[in-house]
Structure 1
Amino acid sequence: MNSARLTLALIALAVSLLAVPALAERNMVPTLDRSFDVCADRPTEPAWMHEIPLRQAYQRVLVQDIYRAQNLERVVEIGNCDCATRFPSWDAAEAVFRERYASDERWEMLEASDAYNSRANDVRLAAKAICEAAGNW
């Protein structure tokens, strides 16, 4: 009898532990609203980037990588991390994409993304220090 009670107790404990995350998940409501801790008025991505078919999402990623690298490099170059410097319009990144990469093959865009990520990572720590001092990291 003790063995049966112990088994039932363990099953009840397991069921109750599994139910807790399910209840917490049920209370989470996903949202598409953008909210940021710093620089809340960031410009939105160009509309065409949201209309790219899923199979060509690498194009959107490349524009995002160009944007990130340009902005972090600018922060370090001028030593300023106000919101307009850290999050300017997307025009410059979009122009670079259209002028240099829009007609490239997928693999070329992926290589370009890697290069822009490397550029951004090279200046990230310096940009972070500047932005933390400005309260914008």
Structure 2
Amino acid sequence: MKGALAYAVLFVFCFAKGSIAERNLIPSLNNQPDVCPEQPPEPEWMQNIETRESYKRLLVQQIYRADSMQRIVDAQNCECDVRYPSWTSAESTFVKNYGAADYWDIVEATSAYGRQANELRKEAMPICEAAGNW
């Protein structure tokens, strides 16, 4: 009898803990960025892209991220307009170099830009932290 009671208490305790943890995972509907609140929005075509084409959006995002990190490192400056430039350059790079590319070429390019951004991030992060924009 004591064993059944112990299992029941353990079950209730675990269930209660799980529901508390679940409540902490509810996403916020607030889309306001923590730094540089005036960031330019993604181009409309990217926001409205069909699910089957979303891999193209991801490539443009990685191009933008890599360009942003490069600009910070080159300028040794992390002001908002340096860290979050217009999307025009990333869009142009995408259209010029990948507009007619097939799926696998875009996936490979996305990985390459992601790696480039991650490497540059190591140099850009301290610059942005010093400026309070990280």
**Cα RMSD over matched residues?**
1.8
Given the alignment, which residue of 113, 120, 124 partners 1:123? Answer: 120
1:92 is aligned to 2:89 = yes
| Cα separation, 2, equivalents of 1:112 and 1:17 | 45
Structure 1 runs (4+) greater than 6 angstroms displaced? none
Identity score, percent: 45
Please name the residue that 1:82 is paired with: 79
| Change in 2 beyond 3 A, CA 1:28/1:123 | closer
Equivalent runs, 1:23-62 vs 2, <5 Å: 23-26=20-23, 29-62=26-59
TM-score by length of 1: 0.87
1:22 is aligned to 2:19 = yes
| Cα separation, 2, equivalents of 1:26 and 1:32 | 14
TM-score by length of 2: 0.89
Q: CA deviation at 1:21?
A: 2.5
Whichever of the two has the greater Rg, that structure is 1
